[in-house]
Each structure stands twice: as C-alpha cells, then as structure tokens.
Amino acid sequence: MDLALTDEQRAVRQAFAAVFAKESAPPRVREVEAVGFDPQLWSTVHGMGAIDVGIPLAWGGGGGGLLELCLIAEEAGRRVAPIPFAGSAAAARLCVEVGAGDLVASILDGSQLVSMTTRQLAFSNQLLADGAVADVMLALEGDRLVANYRPVGIRTKPNLGGLPAARWEPDHQEELAAGPEAVYAYERACDAVRLLRAAELVGLAAEAIEIGASYARERRAFGTPIGTFQAVAHPLADAVTANDGAQLLVYKAAWALEENLPVGPRLATMAFVFAAEVSSSAAQHSLHIHGGYGFTEEYDIQLYYRRAKAWVTAVGDPKRELLTLADRLFGPVE
C-alpha cells in the first residue's frame, strides 16, 4: 500500500504542469478555440514525450504506464489544453497492442496524429471528437479493428466544447486486426480513453474550483467577501471533496489496469462516471459564484463550464456507462 507518486512521476507532473500553465493560458485557449487544436502546444508536449511515455521501451517509447499518462492528462485538463490527448494516448497503446508497427513509428516520430472513437455508431455518421486533426481514426467495425484515414480539406465543426471535431468518410481504410482479440484490445483501449478523460476532468474540476474559490475570496458584496457566505463556500467544499475522490479513483483504476487486475475495467468506468458528475457540478457552481459575470465570455470559468460537459459527451453517456459498470460488477442480466 503506497499512495505516493514516485520522484519520477512527480517530476513528470511538474514538467507538464509548467508547460501547460505557460503555453495553454486562457488567451491561447480562446485564440485556437474555433479550430480546437494548438499545433504548437501539441508539438511541444509530443516532444516532451507525452504520448511516447505510454509506449513500451521495446517499441521505442518511454516505457511508462497509464498512471504517467493520467498525470499528464490531469495537467492538460487543468489548463483545458486544446490537444486531443486522451484519444491519441490510448490509440497509441492500442496500435502497440495489435502490432501496428508502421502506425506506432509514425506516432513516435510525430508524422501522424492517430486517435480513436469510442462510440459504436457507423463511422461516417458520427461526429468524431478529434476528427478535424487526427490523420488516422481507429474504430471497430463488427469484429474488425480498422484505421480510417482522414481525407484532405476537413475543417472543425463548430461545437460547444471547442473540440477539434469533424464528420467524414474515410479517404481509405486499413484493417489492423480482426476477431475476438481485436474486439478485446479495442474495448480495453476504450477503457483507457475514458480513464484518461476522467483524469482530464479531475484537472479541469480542480482548476474550476480554484477559479471559483479565488473569486469568492476577492469579490465583495454586502460589505464582506462572498466566500464568507456558506451558500457560496459549502458547495465548493463538497466539490473539492468529491474531486479528491475522483482523483483517487483515477489513480486506482490506472494502477489496476496496468497490473491487469480483474477490477481494472470496472474502476475505469467508475472513474469516468464519477469524474463526469463531479466536474460538471464543480464548473456549474464556480460559474454561478461569479453571478452575471460568469455568463459573460470574458471570464475564464465559461471555458471550463462548456468543456466539463463536452469532454464527457464526446466519449460516452455516463448513465449508459452505469449499465456497463453494472455488468462488470454484477455480471450480465440473466
């Protein structure tokens, strides 16, 4: 039993926290919002090994694991960084899992951005959350895991969350694997996407809470800082408490999946569902603390409020995930 990060893990967290704080500050996030992607930031964090760290040493990666990826995701979420981290980090590991060597090489050298979809709809019917910037989107068709290549000339579809989303028919397609093993690998990768998304949401919620708390410390009404009002302070206390729980769930799920424990998948689902709830209500309350200002574009809290919802919707419906969780906990229905 050890709930502490290693020195290396702390160093990873600090390094990425510093970069995101500097290069994903609110003005920059706003600047690229229409595209939903900051190529410069992507190139910086890719160069720091953000994706490599999740790839085994034998494949030329950094030999880290899901926990390291979760720490990076958390820091990205804290600054609502406009990069498709969860999808691409999980897709890279899926490529390794099915032995797609060329794709892994292109991910490592940065020549292609590879992401994946977690929605089980027909590919061309769905809005692909990372579709405007991913060169390749992995998807499951029946029991075939396929790589769909993006055609040229695709632009970001305007959306609530500033996601680099788009809808397209593949330019061409390549089958990476087929059969039960392909399905299994894809499902584990979907667990990884939702887990990394949960980590991003934990970071998002932590910063949303801090934005609200800092406003409540400064803003005065009725002759006193509004943080002295319990109706303002107490929901923030609930939020920070629940978000600590979400963070622990994320870490435990990352550990369990990495160790291949049977509880891994259920913990990943728990982390996603819980972080989705917590980040949504935290961002909502923090916005509300700002009163009318919270409704204006000028205040940063709205960036968090919109993403708290969009980042969830992009990868799953929490209530449906509860049914998945039930299957994982109680077994399928008789």
Write out the residues near another protein by the rule CB under 8 A.
1-5, 67, 209-210, 213, 216-217, 224-225, 227-230, 233-234, 236-238, 240-242, 244-246, 248-249, 251-252, 255-256, 259, 267, 270, 273-274, 319, 322-323, 325-326, 329-330, 333-334
We find the least distance from the C-beta atom of residue 58 to another protein, in angstroms, to be 24
We find the least distance from the C-beta atom of residue 80 to another protein, in angstroms, to be 20
- Between 165 and 250, name the residue whose CB sits nearer to another protein: 250
Contacts 24+ apart (CB under 8 A), 313-320: 313/161, 314/129, 314/161, 314/163, 314/165, 314/197, 315/86, 315/118, 315/119, 315/129, 315/193, 315/194, 315/197, 315/272, 316/118, 316/119, 316/194, 316/272, 318/272, 318/273, 318/276, 318/277
- Between 56 and 225, name the residue whose CB sits nearer to another protein: 225
We find the least distance from the C-beta atom of residue 201 to another protein, in angstroms, to be 14
We find the least distance from the C-beta atom of residue 203 to another protein, in angstroms, to be 16
Per DSSP, the three-state class of 146 is strand
User: What are the residues facing 146 on neighbouring strands?
Assistant: 139, 175
- Between 22 and 234, name the residue whose CB sits nearer to another protein: 234
We find the least distance from the C-beta atom of residue 333 to another protein, in angstroms, to be 4
We find the least distance from the C-beta atom of residue 180 to another protein, in angstroms, to be 25
- Between 1 and 152, name the residue whose CB sits nearer to another protein: 1
User: Within a 10 A sphere around the Cβ of 139, how many other Cβ atoms?
Assistant: 22
We find the least distance from the C-beta atom of residue 31 to another protein, in angstroms, to be 30
Q: 66-78 vs 180-218: helix axis angle to the nearest 10?
A: 40
Query: Cα angle vertex 251, ends 245, 255, to 5°?
Result: 145
Q: Which is it for strands 144-149 and 136-141: parallel, antiparallel or unpaired?
A: antiparallel
12, two tokens: 């990873």
We find the least distance from the C-beta atom of residue 11 to another protein, in angstroms, to be 15
> What's 166's DSSP letter?
B
Per DSSP, the three-state class of 176 is strand
- Between 155 and 234, name the residue whose CB sits nearer to another protein: 234
CB-neighbour burial class of residue 313 (10 A; exposed 0-12, middle 13-18, buried 19+): middle
- Between 11 and 323, name the residue whose CB sits nearer to another protein: 323
- Between 94 and 209, name the residue whose CB sits nearer to another protein: 209
Per DSSP, the three-state class of 189 is helix
Q: Which is it for strands 220-221 and 224-225: parallel, antiparallel or unpaired?
A: antiparallel
Distance between start and end Cα atoms, the chain: 37
- Between 82 and 294, name the residue whose CB sits nearer to another protein: 294
We find the least distance from the C-beta atom of residue 140 to another protein, in angstroms, to be 24
- Between 1 and 58, name the residue whose CB sits nearer to another protein: 1
Q: What does the alpha-carbon distance between residue 230 and residue 215 come to, in Å, rounded to a whole number? A: 14
